[in-house]
Structures are given as structure tokens and as C-alpha cells.
Amino acid sequence: MSSPDRAYWKPAEETLPRPALEALQLDRLRQTLARVWEKVPFYRHKLDEAKVSPDAVRGLADLRRLPFTTGADLRETYPAGLLAVPPDEALRLHTSSGTTGKPKAIFFSRQDVDNSAELCARSFVATGMGRQDVFQNMMTYGLFTGALVTHYAAEKIGCLVIPAGPGNSDRQLLLMRDFRTTAIHITPSFALYFADFLEKHGVDPRQELALQRAFVGAEPYTEATRRKIEAGLGVRAFNSYGLSEMNGPGVAFECQEQQGMHLWEDHFLMEIIDPGSGEPLPLGARGELVLTTLVREAMPILRYRTRDITSIMDAPCACGRTHRRIQRITGRADDMLIVRGVNFYPQQVERILMAIEGVGRNYVICLEGLDEMTVKVELSEAGMSDRPEPMYALQDEIVSGLRAEILTKPKVELVPPGALPVSEGKARRVIDNRKL
């Protein structure tokens, strides 16, 4: 599919020839190394241990000589051990919270705040968004980067911005109707929830709303889920990737081609490594994404192990942008489940479920006992009405599909629409109560 409108935010930066882009990356990498060597004792020590000085980096291939940074490093240096500017030059603080222990504190300078909004503005325009759009931000405002960064990005473009936040579906619908919202920013789980809400209230988004596009992020999701969101909301859903450690959303984003996410390589260096050994993988191989900031002032980060699993797409994109793309994230290295000795990701379960006719928009994976797995699956309204007989055939179809995908046979429990807990924020898809 060719882009109907090859709009760019800053064409010179987005279409920079690869040799010039790689030269810019090397120059910025060397500046970043000099900065952390001088300003951040943590990195000075790590580089000394690795026997690498900033002057020793002469090409991008030398990147692999640098030490990794992990989430544990960010927690251990909390609150300000990685700060590269005086405290009074830090303008904003966000945190990326984990399930246990200390959060990861991420500092932004004034330039960092502007850069993060610039990258998101670049990303939005790549999808066809312009100043005529009305942007309803349905993400959580606060320490999470997702809402604020995209809010400022949409304002840069000149959109009317509605800082709705998550939840309160009645109010969300009211705002969409009254102000003719054209673009939304939303988690995939809330998008599915809101699609159910519209259906239950008899609202046809194609006839009654002005929605055109949804920017979906903060949770991994599958292509099948994307199709359900698009069908339920009457939009084109654009995949995006970001993390607080790299300035939040706008690290990588789909253009109108929707064939992978352009990772903005003038701001980040990317690598793919084996998540077990840490060794680099060949181009096109799927593995853990590692990112290095190139223009971050307040808190530069070297070779950050994101734990996100993807691969690099090296082929040119029809949109004309020269920044390489990554495939959609298929899971996190630390989210991998092991059941009866078999490794798989929750997204593999979702991919199978969302592609089966009669399955609704909600499910949960329950792990109990020593290694017992039950997948509870809501039926759609059509699935209930179209199957007057017992659901054995549908149940068998789900079991067979899951067994082929994840190589283990779970129990499948079919439940009526609305029977499972719903969330207007991030969904909890796995409940692990095993006694291992």
C-alpha cells in the first residue's frame, strides 16, 4: 500500500541518506560517551572496567565493546546516580515503576522535554495526522511518560488536545461526540473495553463519531487484536513503541504503510542481542532490543537492555523515510512463561484467541497448582447467539490452536460476554498462583 500523503514533520531529518545518518550517529555517540565519562561516575567506572575510553570508539561497530545498562542498574543508582547535569538543570522527572522494589527515575532537561515531544510529533505526522485533528488523550497523566509526552507532541502539531485521561467511558464518549475527536491515544486493553462499551450502548462509531486513527501503546498486543480494535472503533490503529528510559513514547512508530515501526535513529542506536548470552544477533534475527541514547542531556543511557523482543527490518520503506524499522514487539524476555517445560509468551495465546470467530475481546491465563494452565475466554455476543449447541466445537478449536502454537495443551473455559473482570487501564492477562 502506498502512502496517500507523504507528509513529514522535518523531511531533512526523516529522509537523511544512510551514510549521512550513520555518520551523525557516530558523532553523537562519541559526544555521549565523552559526556558520561566526564559527568557520570557510574559510567566512568563501567567504561574503565570494560577498558574502553571515549577516544577508543572509532566506528559504530565499536558499540558492542561498551557495557550494558540494565533496569537493575537504574534502580541501584536511584534516585539521581545517573544524572549528567546539575540538579537545578533537570526540568522534569518521570518514573518507570516495576512490580517490586525501587522505581527507575528518569530525568529530563528542557531540551530533553522538547526532543521527546518533537519525536512524537514526527511520529504522529507520519500517520497522516495534522493540525486539523482533535486529539483525545486517554492515557494516564502523572509519573508515566505516555500521556504528557504525546500531549505536548499533539500541541506542537497544532491539534486541539483533550487531556481526558483513562476510564469514565461515558465521559469519553461525550467528549468524542461534542468535540468531534479524530485521533485517540489508548492502551489496547482499554480500546477493547471501549469497543465493548460502544457496542452495548448501540453506538456505531463509523456513523456517529469522527474517529479516524488510534495510537495504541503501553501494552504488547497482536495483529489480531489490532483488527478487533479497528473493527470495534472504526479507526486505523497505529502501533507504537516507547519506554520511559528512552524519553517515553515516540521511540518507534508506524507510518501510513504500517509495515513495521520506524525507530528514530538520529536519537537512538539500536541493536538486537541474544537475551540469554548477550551476544549480537545477525540482521533480521529476533531477539532483545538494546538502545543507546544519542542526544539525551540530563540522563544519557548506554546500551540499555529493554527486555523487549523484536527484530530489525533493513529494507527501504515506501514512505521514503530512511530510519530502519522494527517488527512489532512479541513480548518481553522477563514475561516469558514456562509451563510443563515449554517456553512461550502471553501474546502467542492472544494471537490465536483473537483470530477465532466467536471469541470475544477478553481473556485471562490462569496458572495453578504445580503447572496447571487454564485459559478463560469470553464469547462474543454473536458467538453466544450463533451456537445454540454446547460449545464443544469452539472449545476444541481453541485448544487445538493453542496446542499448535505453544506446544502444550491447556484447559479452556468458555464464559459469557462480560463475565471476566475488565480494566480501563492496563489489563492483567496472566494470574500465576502456581506452587513451584
Question: Are both 85 and 135 inside the same structural domain?
Answer: yes
Average pLDDT across the chain, whole number: 91
Q: How far apart are CA 234 and CA 329, in angstroms?
A: 24
Confidence of residue 17 (pLDDT cuts 50, 70, 90): very high
Question: Are both 393 and 320 inside the same structural domain?
Answer: no
**Nearest residue to 215 (alpha-carbon basis) of 200, 193, 230, 197:** 230
Question: Are both 367 and 319 inside the same structural domain?
Answer: no
Cα dihedral across residues 392, 412, 348, 189: positive or negative: positive
* C-alpha cell, 387: 451456537
Predicted confidence at residue 68, as pLDDT, reads 98
Is the model's pLDDT at 425 over the cut of 80?
Answer: no
DSSP string, 164-193: --S--HHHHHHHHHHHT--EEEE-HHHHHH
Question: Are both 186 and 296 inside the same structural domain?
Answer: yes
Per-residue pLDDT reduced to its tens digit, 232-268? 999 999 999 999 999 899 999 999 999 999 999 999 9
Per-residue pLDDT reduced to its tens digit, 337-372? 888 878 888 888 988 898 898 898 889 999 998 888
Question: Are both 345 and 295 inside the same structural domain?
Answer: no
- Own/partner contacts of 106-114, CB < 8 Å, gap of 24 or more, are 106/145, 106/244, 106/245, 106/247, 106/299, 107/80, 107/83, 107/298, 107/299, 108/247, 108/298, 108/299, 109/85, 109/297, 109/298, 111/295, 111/297, 112/247, 112/296, 112/297, 112/298, 112/299, 113/152
Q: Which residues contact 324 (CB under 8 A, 6 or more apart)?
A: 262, 263, 265, 270, 312, 313, 314
Question: Are both 376 and 324 inside the same structural domain?
Answer: no
Last residue of a domain, one of 333, 356, 375: 333
Last residue of a domain, one of 298, 333, 368: 333
Residues 36-46 have a mean pLDDT of 97
Residues 361-387 have a mean pLDDT of 82
Predicted confidence at residue 2, as pLDDT, reads 38
Cα dihedral across residues 120, 128, 318, 312: positive or negative: positive
**Nearest residue to 105 (alpha-carbon basis) of 97, 95, 91, 113:** 95
* Domain tally, the chain: 2
**Nearest residue to 220 (alpha-carbon basis) of 194, 240, 196:** 240
Tell me the H-state helices in 310-425: 346-354, 381-385, 392-406
Predicted confidence at residue 390, as pLDDT, reads 54
Question: Are both 64 and 194 inside the same structural domain?
Answer: yes
Question: Are both 93 and 219 inside the same structural domain?
Answer: yes
Interior CA angle at 416 toward 367 and 140, to 5°? 70
Q: Are 182 and 176 in contact (CB under 8 A)?
A: no
370: burial class by Cβ within 10 Å (0-12, 13-18, 19+)? exposed
Q: How far apart are CA 187 and CA 181, in angstroms?
A: 17
Question: Are both 188 and 311 inside the same structural domain?
Answer: yes
Q: How far apart are CA 143 and CA 244, in angstroms?
A: 10
Interior CA angle at 235 toward 230 and 237, to 5°? 65
Question: Are both 341 and 325 inside the same structural domain?
Answer: no
Enumerate the β-bridge partners of residue 424: none
Q: Are 219 and 188 in contact (CB under 8 A)?
A: yes
420: CATH? 3.30.300.30
Last residue of a domain, one of 312, 333, 354: 333
Q: How many residues does the chain have?
A: 436
Per-residue pLDDT reduced to its tens digit, 70-129? 999 999 999 999 999 999 999 999 997 554 467 899 999 999 999 999 999 999 999 999
Q: How far apart are CA 251 and CA 266, in angstroms?
A: 11
Note the pTM of the prediction, 2 decimals.
Answer: 0.84
Question: Are both 188 and 317 inside the same structural domain?
Answer: yes
Query: Could you give phi then psi for residue 406, rounded to 5 degrees?
Result: -110, 0
Q: Are 84 and 106 in contact (CB under 8 A)?
A: no
Question: Are both 385 and 248 inside the same structural domain?
Answer: no
Interior CA angle at 122 toward 120 and 127, to 5°? 95
* C-alpha cell, 413: 473455559
Domain that holds residue 326: 1-333
3-state secondary structure of 251: strand
363: burial class by Cβ within 10 Å (0-12, 13-18, 19+)? buried
Is the model's pLDDT at 309 over the cut of 50?
Answer: yes
Q: Please name the residue that has the C-alpha cell 475488565.
A: 422
Q: Are 65 and 52 in contact (CB under 8 A)?
A: yes
First to last CA, the chain: 49
* C-alpha cell, 132: 486539523
